[in-house]
Amino acid sequence: MEFKPYDPKAIEPKWQKRWADSHVFEAKNDYTMPKFYGLIEFPYPSGQGLHVGHPRSNTAMDIIARKRRMEGCNVLFPIGWDAFGLPTENYAIKNKVHPAIVTKKNIDHFREQLQKIGFSFDYSREVNTTDPSYYRWTQWIFLQLFKHGLAYKSEMPINWCPSCKCGLANEEVVGGVCERCGTQVIRKVKKQWMLKITAYAQKLLDGLDTVDFIDKVKVQQRNWIGRSVGAEVDFALTVPGEKVRVFTTRPDTLFGATYMVLSPEHPLIDKLKDQITNYDACMAYRAEAAKKSDFERAELAKDKTGLQIEGVRAVNPVNGKEIPIWLSDYVLMTYGTGAIMAVPAHDTRDWEFAHKFGIPMIEVVAGGNIEEAAYTDIQDGVMVNSGFLDGMKVAQAKEAIIEYLEKNGLGEKKVNYKLRDWVFSRQRYWGEPIPIVHCDKCGMVAVPEDQLPVTLPMVDNYEPTDSGESPLSVMHDWVNTTCPCCGGPAKRETDTMPQWAGSSWYFLRYTDPHNANALADMDKLKYWMPVDWYNGGMEHVTRHMIYSRFWHHFLYDLGVVNTPEPYAKRSIQGLILGPDGDKMSKSKGNVVDPLDIVEEYGADTLRTYVLFMGDYGAATPWSENSVKGCKKFLDRVAGLTDILSEESVSDELEMKLHRTIKKVSSDIENLKFNTAIASLMTLINEITAEGHLSKDDLTIFIKLLSPFAPHICEEIWEFIGGEGLLAV
Do residues 59 and 676 touch, judged by C-beta distance below 8 A?
Answer: no
Binding mask 410-439 for Zn ion (x = CB under 5 A): -----------------------------x
341 binds ligand ANZ (CB under 6 A): yes
**Contacting residues for 9 by C-beta, under 8 A, at least 6 apart:** 602
663 binds ligand ANZ (CB under 6 A): no
Q: What crossing angle do the helices spanning 603-612 and 710-719 adopt, rounded to 10°? A: 130
Helices (H), 266-392: 267-271, 279-289, 294-295, 348-357
State which amino acid sits at residue 107: I
483 binds ligand ANZ (CB under 6 A): no
Nearer to Zn ion, 164 or 483 (CB): 483
602 binds ligand ANZ (CB under 6 A): no
Per-residue HEC secondary structure of 124-137 comes to EEEEECCCHHHHHH
Q: Which long-range contacts (CB under 8 A, 24 or more apart) does 669-674 make?
A: 669/64, 671/60, 671/571, 671/616, 671/617, 672/616, 673/60, 673/63, 673/611, 673/612, 673/616, 673/708, 674/611, 674/612, 674/613, 674/614, 674/615, 674/616
Nearer to ligand ANZ, 106 or 416 (CB): 416
Nearer to Zn ion, 49 or 484 (CB): 484
Q: Which residues pair with residue 173 across a beta bridge?
A: 178
343 binds ligand ANZ (CB under 6 A): yes
> DSSP for 608-665?
HHHHHSS-TTS-EE--HHHHHHHHHHHHHHHHGGGGB-SSPPPHHHHHHHHHHHHHHH
Nearer to ligand ANZ, 193 or 330 (CB): 330
List 332, 366, 400, 644, residue binding ligand ANZ (CB under 6 A):
332
Under DSSP, the state recorded for 167 is E
CB of 248 to ligand ANZ, least distance (A): 3
List 59, 106, 139, 248, residue binding ligand ANZ (CB under 6 A):
248
163 binds ligand ANZ (CB under 6 A): no
Nearer to Zn ion, 435 or 498 (CB): 435
133 binds, among Zn ion, ligand ANZ, none (CB under 5 to 8 A by kind): none
Nearer to Zn ion, 161 or 483 (CB): 483
Stretch that binds ligand ANZ, among 9-17, 244-252, 404-412, 630-638 (CB under 6 A): 244-252
336 binds ligand ANZ (CB under 6 A): yes
Phi, psi of 690 (to 5 degrees): -70, -30
Nearer to ligand ANZ, 140 or 335 (CB): 335
- 3-state secondary structure (DSSP) of residue 592: coil
List 340, 359, 361, 545, residue binding ligand ANZ (CB under 6 A):
340
Question: Cis omega (within 30 of 0) on the bond before 453?
Answer: yes
Stretch that binds ligand ANZ, among 329-337, 440-448, 492-500, 607-615 (CB under 6 A): 329-337
CB of 396 to ligand ANZ, least distance (A): 16
Q: Which long-range contacts (CB under 8 A, 24 or more apart) does 508-516 make?
A: 508/552, 508/555, 508/561, 508/566, 509/80, 509/127, 509/134, 509/137, 510/39, 510/76, 510/78, 510/80, 510/125, 510/127, 511/76, 513/125, 513/126, 513/127, 516/133
List 171, 347, 421, 565, residue binding ligand ANZ (CB under 6 A):
347
247 binds, among Zn ion, ligand ANZ, none (CB under 5 to 8 A by kind): ligand ANZ
Nearer to Zn ion, 177 or 485 (CB): 485
List 113, 416, 542, 608, residue binding ligand ANZ (CB under 6 A):
416
| Total chain residues near ligand ANZ (CB under 6 A) | 18
335 binds, among Zn ion, ligand ANZ, none (CB under 5 to 8 A by kind): ligand ANZ
Stretch that binds ligand ANZ, among 191-199, 342-350, 707-715, 719-727 (CB under 6 A): 342-350
Stretch that binds ligand ANZ, among 104-112, 135-143, 334-342, 603-611 (CB under 6 A): 334-342
- 3-state secondary structure (DSSP) of residue 515: coil
Length of the chain: 728
704 binds Zn ion (CB under 5 A): no
CB-side neighbour CA atoms (13 Å) of 563: 19
Binding mask 434-473 for Zn ion (x = CB under 5 A): -----x-xx-------------------------------
Per-residue HEC secondary structure of 532-563 comes to CEEEECHHHCCCHHHHHHHHHHHHHHHCCCCC
- By CB neighbour count within 10 A (0-12 exposed, 13-18 middle, 19+ buried), where does 112 fall? exposed
Stretch that binds ligand ANZ, among 174-182, 325-333, 554-562, 654-662 (CB under 6 A): 325-333
State which amino acid sits at residue 198: T
249 binds, among Zn ion, ligand ANZ, none (CB under 5 to 8 A by kind): ligand ANZ
Query: Which stretches of the chain bind Zn ion, using CB under 5 A?
Result: 439, 441-442, 483, 485-486
Query: Which stretches of the chain bind ligand ANZ, using CB under 6 A?
Result: 228, 247-250, 253, 330-332, 335-336, 338, 340-341, 343, 346-347, 416
